[in-house]
Amino acid sequence: MITTAQDMLSAIKRNQFTGVILYEGPSAINGAPIVVIANRIVAKSNNDKTGAMVQTFILAADVNPFRALKDGRDEAVCGDCPQRPFNGGKCYVDVAKSVVSVFGAYQRNRYARPGVDYCAEILSELFAGLAFRLGTYGDPAAAPFAIWQACTVKAKKITGYSHQWRDPAFQAFSALCMASCETESDQLLASACGWRTFRAKRAAEPKARSEIGCPAAKENGARTSCALCGLCAGNSSNSPRDIVINLHGFRVGKKG
């Protein structure tokens, strides 16, 4: 039985498990069953922009994520995100590849399940000194804040983004996550609600006065990686500045 973070790491290194389940239960967004999975704990990410970060996936627990994306059941993990394809948006994540692969491993029981009695202690030690990404796919606010707090309390760097900033019920997440914004008016409103913001814009659009360009973005010379930067850590960051990046990712066209 796994009772310590070291036992967990040893099991992952032996390939007994691919990663760890952080949460299984109802979505805080709509009550549907979800699962939160962390991987890339001992293996480096192959994402040049993020660098070596623990990656986390928030998934509907009872449906293939690509099907959920098509029929709207991804609401459980993405909420009211305007970039959901079901809402006519263009999500930057290639769900048919990495996300479906993670879900398949979940169905094959490839992820360890820490027991509720020792979950917080194990998670804080498991991710101690590592760079940790809240929501490689899905909105962190779909899962309990306490889970993310345990995962990040000893982490070296964190990044997190949420579209749930309009709902006061999720205000606690402003400590760890940036408010995801699509427009300058959203950016101003989120700031007024007490959030630092992360906005994706067309290349020709100007930055707002409070914004600086993402240092890990190609348009800014990719001077660092998310794992080394740490600016997108919500109000836990020492920086008061908001972050902006040009539209990017799997579904973005050539316009802009």
Residues 6+ apart with CB under 8 A from 160: 133, 134, 135, 140, 148, 173, 176, 177, 178, 232, 233, 234
Confidence category of residue 256, pLDDT binned at 50, 70, 90: very low
User: Region 89-94: what's the mean pLDDT?
Assistant: 84
Q: Specify the pLDDT at position 153.
A: 95
Q: How confident is the model at residue 116 (pLDDT cuts 50, 70, 90)?
A: low
Across 105-111, average pLDDT: 95
Q: Where are the alpha helices (DSSP H) in 50-138?
A: 65-71, 75-78, 100-107, 119-126
What is the reported pLDDT for 115?
Answer: 60
Q: pLDDT of 3-13, one tens digit each?
A: 688 888 888 88
- Three-class secondary structure of residue 145 per DSSP: helix
| Chain position carrying tokens 């990404």 | 133
The torsion of the CA quartet 245, 249, 252, 254, rounded to 10 degrees, works out to 80
Tokens of 232: 């997108």
d(CA 238, CA 191): 16
Closest CA to 218 of 48, 46, 52: 48
pLDDT value for 44:
72
Residue 253 has pLDDT above 60, yes or no: no
Mean pLDDT value of segment 108-127: 81
Q: State how far the Cα of 80 lies from the Cα of 89, in Å rounded to an integer.
A: 11
Q: Is 203 helix (H, G, I), strand (E, B) or coil?
A: coil
* Per-residue pLDDT, 46: 67
pTM reported for the whole predicted model: 0.91
- Please compute the mean of the pLDDT values over residues 176-198 and round it to a whole number: 96
pLDDT band at 251 (very low <50, low <70, confident <90, very high): very low
Predicted confidence at residue 120, as pLDDT, reads 79
What is the predicted pLDDT for the residue at 157?
95
Report whether pLDDT(71) > 70: yes
Q: What is the mean pLDDT of residues 41-53?
A: 78
The predicted-structure confidence for 193-247, as pLDDT tens digits, reads as follows 999 999 999 888 899 899 999 998 888 888 898 999 999 999 999 899 999 998 8
Q: Average pLDDT for residues 148-173, to the nearest whole number?
A: 96
